[in-house]
Structure 1
Amino acid sequence: MGSGKHRWKISIYRSNSTTSKLDTRSSKPPNEFICPISGSLMADPVIVSTGQTFERACVTACKNLGFTPTLNDGSVPDFSMVIPNLALKTSIFNWANVSLSSPPKPLELADALKLLESTPAAAEKLTAEGGGVESGELIRRVGESPGPNLFQHADSELSRRQTRFDSGESLSGSFTGTPLVLATRPSCYSSCSSSSEFELSESGTCEDDVYVARLRSTHVYEQEEGLVALRRTTRSSVESRVSLCTPRLLSSLRCLISSKYTDIQVNSVAVLVNLSLENVNKVRIVRAGFVPPLVDVLRGRSPEAQEHACGALFSLALDDGNKTAIGVLGALQPLFHMMMRSESERARHDAALSLYHLSLVQSNRLKLVKFGSVQLLLGMVKSGQMPGCALLILCNLGACNEGRAAMLDAGAVEFLIELLRKGEFDSESTQESCVAALCALSHGGGLRFRGLAKVAGAMDVLKDVVENNSRERAKEKARRVLEMLKAKEEEEEEVDWEKVLESGFQSRPITRPGGQSCSNSTDF
């Protein structure tokens, strides 16, 4: 029978994959266990950006020498990103154990370089780079000057991350890469490629009953052991993320998110982030009741758990079917607090992404406006704290009457025009967001907006955007506001805008046809 621990290990790596059907008595390893570069059994396999798997030392040697091999199938690998292939590594060592072969040892960098020398293309590269020096000297140089760091996500993600940053660290450049609206993965899930690019062996998947038994154990160490294994599996395998997202496992996982043990809470929320990456799981997770415990985590004291909770809510908010439910269940204010106050850059990013997607829904816009988010977002822009992100959320809020009115009351028109006039932006995308916010405020050609825009000198500033901005979308939005201002200027009789604004126009009653009275709003 064996001990319980032994049975657990056997169950975790049980697989119906090709490797499990092989004749384990054979001393010849399966082809997928062989490194395409070294031609030997891999001990530390890693996946590169293009999906192939190699021995880590071979990848390191190729990167350090600037050499990219052409494989037998004619493909050329991309070594820019690397992650450990834990599933394949487990299969290799299990095969070695069952077949009574010696476990493979990691290839040394010097040995990898010697292997590369035997390849004609690599030898030519070595000669060119080495300037005629002996190979031993090249090996020494490569060993002393390692190349760029390899990203070991699956390992590093299971350890504690630094959550404090130097006070002088700039936050304004957080979204200078991919535009916020296009992001589809939480920052805490920092995989080198999209989930569809992983082609791992099925040895990384297993039945959910094995995990459920561990998660429901009365022993804390067994719960943590199960969570760590589940986290590894769901991080690297698309199939496991789909097959393991069962009602039983979700129920067990939800209970652990509220655990008083920090490590269990952190790992359980991290598992949820991994499961939420697949579109088919997003609505299922919200309906399983995960939003309230995630909100509690945001209000808790564990920075790493909060970081993962922000990532989970962002991932879940990508599905339109979840947006309203997440807002109703009380996630908006805690997310806003995380965006403004968290010491973790990843938590701030994912909280901002969550709020951006959640504010695409009218009901959530109204909630954000009611608790005073407009003034806080404008304050973030003024202080240079994630201005691009804050402006994009303001653009969404400006899509409703209540949001526009709150922005006008807070002096957004004068502030945004002055911001464009100064031109002090961290990126062109932030400048475009500033123009987009003005465009949202101008929706419907509200009389109050036109008055504020004219007094602030919007015409000249927007003309400058049309003439000098390199982004066509920013130019188009600026033209739209200009056309609205010019069209209304031709239709209206001359008005003393300064006098209108000073006379308390905001609270001035307007009489509609039929004698009905109302207070001023953005549109008339």
Structure 2
Amino acid sequence: MKVATPTHKAKERNGGPRLSRWTIVSFRKSAKPDKPKADRPRHREAVPDEFLCPVSGSLMADPVIVPSGHSFERASVEACKSLGFVPPALAGDVAAPDFSALIPNHALKSTILSFCRSRSLPPPKPLDSASAHKLVADLMSTQTHRTQMKLARDTVGERRDSVREEREMRGAKAESSRSHHQDPPTANHSYSSSNDSVATTVAFDSTSPLQLAARPSCCCSSSCSSSEFEPLNPAEEGLLAKLKSPLVFDVEEAVIGLRDETRTSEESRVTLCTARLLSSLRPLVVSKYCAIQVNSVASLVNLSLAAVNKVKILRSGIVPNLVDVLKGGFPEAAEHAAGALFSLALDDGNKTAIGALGALPPLLHALRAGNERAQGDAASALYHLSLVQSNRVKLVRLGSVPVLLGMVRSGRLAGRALLVLVNLGSCADGRAAMMDAGAVECLVGFLRRAAGSARDNCVTALYVLSQGGLRFKGLARAAGAAEALEEAEGGSWRAREMARRMVEMMGERREEVEAEDVDWEKLLEAGTPSR
């Protein structure tokens, strides 16, 4: 575009008026015009670090708080939990982060949305599960590569330091030998630096450049104790390396090897049950891969067979994962989970904690709807857990009495169901629930056809119910309990003694009632007033 502009200089022509001279000025549009700083578009302001997910590095759309207090995107945490990855934000705080409880951070979410609205930014979108798993897998592979590179650099550095120390030692020895052979002290200064370097080079080149024999004596002080350098268990180190591998094949191979190693060897169960291994095994218990989940839970069953490991496994925080597997894991893994809980419940110090961690409802469900193996382990676990008063109350409130009585009527695992009923009948709530559900009639009917230990357990359950007072006596008389107890012969001495006491108790009550009836009839006949 061309525009005519007047010039500052003017001339007079023939005495006429002053005329302005016009100059043509051309304005061309440049590729990058210079604009004032005030007119330049402002760049997006920096996003606060607390708004960004430490794993994905993007704005959080669904922030959650983990037990350590950090906030993450929900999909990122779930991916870390599934793959057993420790985020860099937690690497220095805890050795094994706990992702079992995720609390929605509504305050942070609303703050992020307000930030986006005030800056005219689109609200963040939640991260999908597939992208989160891929992102965490890439982080794991990157971290593994960095670790390998660091180890390689450290190894090269150590070798370089060793060569330098070896060279200095040999140079010092050569200098010392020359000083001993020279008579005057000033002879030491007659050697030039080139001669020294030649002597040192020849002495160094005469041996291998990577000799490390003299390194421990040079770098280890006398204050270092041998206990600080004790070698770790090679088997454990190999398993840990594979358990933390980002490759599914390596993890599967590790859990299968752990299961085989601890199947029969008591020594392996004790030596391999370490805090580091349990921490690596905990996320694999709820793995989405069937083989990894099944073999991980089976390995825990083998490890729990050692008495010294039971409390250690419970304190590792792995019981909630076993409960999750029992609720919705693969069928074979759920069977092993019931067995693991049964094994852990054998320790008296674990019973209350297992009940508090939510194991009772899924065990009761497995008892009702599981296969034969899961039902057997669930019944055994419930028996040992019901030895604690707090668990007895919980089982009664969960409606376990009708389920157990149904098993007694059908004869399926009746002996174990009777053992649990005996424990429940030792508390007032349990006795009331059992009598409300028709336990007296059910037990008397089972007693007529039972034999062996099942009959003894049935007598024990009736004896526990007899502590309920007059209500039991009335129900027992209506069901014919006295005749069934008298007909039941054999059994242990304890069962026979309990049966005898119950028969005597019910017989005395019946005689008292008959005597009272006769007396009242006589009194009515003799003293009825006429109207």
Scaled by the length of structure 1, the TM-score of the pair is 0.52
Report how many residues are paired: 285
What is the alpha-carbon root mean square deviation over aligned residues?
2.0
What residue in structure 1 maps to residue 272 of structure 2? Answer: 244
Higher helix share: 2
Name segments (4+ residues, structure 1) moved above 6 Å: 490-493
- Distance in 1 between the 2:459 and 2:491 partners? 13
Shift of 1:232: 1.2
Residue 471 to residue 216, structure 1, CA distance change in 2 (3 Å)? same
C-alpha contact 1:234 1:271 (8 A) present in aligned 2: yes
Residue 495 to residue 329, structure 1, CA distance change in 2 (3 Å)? farther
What residue in structure 1 maps to residue 420 of structure 2? Answer: 393
- Residue by residue over 1:465-486, the C-alpha shift from the partner in whole angstroms, topping out at 9 and shown as x without a partner, is 2xx2243332122123224334
Say whether 1:424 aligns with 2:449: yes
Task: Please give the residue correspondences for 1:443-458 in structure 2 after superposition, counting only pairs within 5 Å.
Answer: 443=467, 446-458=469-481
- 297, 306, 310: which is aligned to 1:278? 306
Say whether 1:362 aligns with 2:366: no
Task: Please give the residue correspondences for 1:494-509 in structure 2 after superposition, counting only pairs within 5 Å.
Answer: none
What residue in structure 2 maps to residue 186 of structure 1? Answer: none
Residue 494 to residue 401, structure 1, CA distance change in 2 (3 Å)? farther
SS at match of 1:235: coil
- Residue by residue over 1:284-318, the C-alpha shift from the partner in whole angstroms, topping out at 9 and shown as x without a partner, is 11111111101110112411101110110000000
- 307, 331, 342: which is aligned to 1:314? 342
Counterpart amino acid of 2:386?
S
- Residue by residue over 1:33-53, the C-alpha shift from the partner in whole angstroms, topping out at 9 and shown as x without a partner, is xxxxxxxxxxxxxxxxxxxxx
Residue 494 to residue 363, structure 1, CA distance change in 2 (3 Å)? farther
- Distance in 2 between the 1:346 and 1:403 partners? 27
What residue in structure 2 maps to residue 476 of structure 1? Answer: 497
Residue 495 to residue 232, structure 1, CA distance change in 2 (3 Å)? farther
Counterpart amino acid of 2:449?
E
SS at match of 2:328: coil
Counterpart amino acid of 1:288?
S
Counterpart amino acid of 2:293?
Q
Task: Please give the residue correspondences for 1:216-255 in structure 2 after superposition, counting only pairs within 5 Å.
Answer: 216-255=244-283
- Residue by residue over 1:162-185, the C-alpha shift from the partner in whole angstroms, topping out at 9 and shown as x without a partner, is xxxxxxxxxxxxxxxxxxxxxxxx
- Distance in 1 between the 2:463 and 2:384 partners? 19
- Distance in 2 between the 1:494 and 1:256 partners? 71
Counterpart amino acid of 1:356?
Y
Counterpart amino acid of 1:262?
C
What residue in structure 1 maps to residue 316 of structure 2? Answer: 288
- 474, 485, 499: which is aligned to 2:506? 485
- Residue by residue over 1:210-258, the C-alpha shift from the partner in whole angstroms, topping out at 9 and shown as x without a partner, is 2111111111111111111111111121111111111100000111001
Counterpart amino acid of 2:333?
A
- 405, 411, 434: which is aligned to 2:432? 405
- Distance in 2 between the 1:261 and 1:237 partners? 27
Scaled by the length of structure 2, the TM-score of the pair is 0.51
Counterpart amino acid of 1:249?
L
C-alpha contact 2:463 2:502 (8 A) present in aligned 1: yes
C-alpha contact 2:455 2:491 (8 A) present in aligned 1: no
- Distance in 1 between the 2:329 and 2:300 partners? 19
What residue in structure 2 maps to residue 37 of structure 1? Answer: none
What residue in structure 2 maps to residue 438 of structure 1? Answer: 462
The structure having more radius of gyration, on CA atoms, is 2
C-alpha contact 1:206 1:240 (8 A) present in aligned 2: no
> Structure 1 stretches of 5 or more lacking a match?
1-204, 497-524
Q: % of aligned pairs identical? A: 60
Say whether 1:341 aligns with 2:369: yes
- Distance in 2 between the 1:332 and 1:494 partners? 49
- Residue by residue over 1:11-30, the C-alpha shift from the partner in whole angstroms, topping out at 9 and shown as x without a partner, is xxxxxxxxxxxxxxxxxxxx
What residue in structure 1 maps to residue 441 of structure 2? Answer: 414
SS at match of 1:236: coil
C-alpha contact 1:241 1:275 (8 A) present in aligned 2: yes
Task: Please give the residue correspondences for 1:16-31 in structure 2 after superposition, counting only pairs within 5 Å.
Answer: none
Counterpart amino acid of 2:419?
L
